[in-house]
Copies of this chain bind each other. A is one copy, B any other.
Amino acid sequence: DAEWGTAIEPEAIRAIAKKTQPVKLIAIVHAETSTGVQQPIEPVSEIAKEFGALLLIDCVTSLGGIPVKADEWEADILYSGTQKCLSAPPGASPITLSEKAVQALSERKTLPNTWYLDLQKLEAYWDNRRAYHHTSPISMLYALHRALAITLTEGLENRWQRHERNGKALQKGLEALGLVLHAKEAVRLPVLTTVRIPEAVDGDLIKSELLANFSTEIAGGLGNLKGKIWRVGLMGESSTADNVLFFLSAFGLLLRKHGFKADVTAALESAAETLNV
């Protein structure tokens, strides 16, 4: 457990691992969408090696938006989603397994009681046995194929830079509006920004007016952060300079309408500086 808004300290993971040896698997979320935090993976990977544990990384919100380095991190299981920074429709999960992970699956003694996500049965589907497991969601595969083509045409590094620049511009702009960002700066994600709802402002009202008046949807907080933060996504095709400027204008106007004296001009100038426009 870490305070929501900070990354998990490697030392905390190491301490738990020590207490619970042997450690079979360490699981970590790379881009944490509840809090807007980017978890540094390298130190976690070190700990997994130290304890001979498999390393599982949830890259749902990071793949295609910020660097995901499955091989460098020596990830054993790494999965993502199609609907975040790849901008394909939701409905499929790209996944990759190391040979060590595949071996662990083949050696497990208690079999999974789910047919639905039985990775060994799924393996037989795509290896040279081509054994039928389920009917594939083919439209999803076409959509993902196209999304990957768009990603590679842009260039992965260009795409990372675009997400980084627009995320930073949005965050500078939100601060210039007079708002406080929830995630600590050092571990702040560019693709998902968490913003504290100022006292005396009705967060849900702003959220619903944004949608009704500006066709722009942001999310509320989950769990501990319910009612305390807004969550603003800036992923894939929607991560554009225009969207950053438009969002700051619309959001600022609504805040002012509801009594919070946001400085929209300052926000736009601050974002424009980062965007170099």
Contact = CB atoms under 8 A, between A and B. Distances in A.
Interface of A: 81, 83, 89-91, 112-114, 116-117, 132, 135-140, 143, 222
A139 B222 contact: no
A192 to B, nearest CB: 14
A137 B83 CA distance: 9
Contact of A114 (B91, B116, B140, B222): B116
B139 A91 contact: yes
Nearest to A143: B139
Contacts of A143: 139
Identical chains bound together, number: 2
Contact of A89 (B83, B90, B116, B137): B137
Given A113-B113, A114-B116, A116-B117, A91 B132 contact: no
A90 B132 contact: no
B139 A81 contact: no
Contact of A140 (B91, B117, B222): B91
A143 B137 CA distance: 12
A137 B140 contact: yes
B91 A137 contact: yes
Nearest to A140: B91
A136 B90 contact: yes
Contacts of A139: 89-91, 139-140, 143
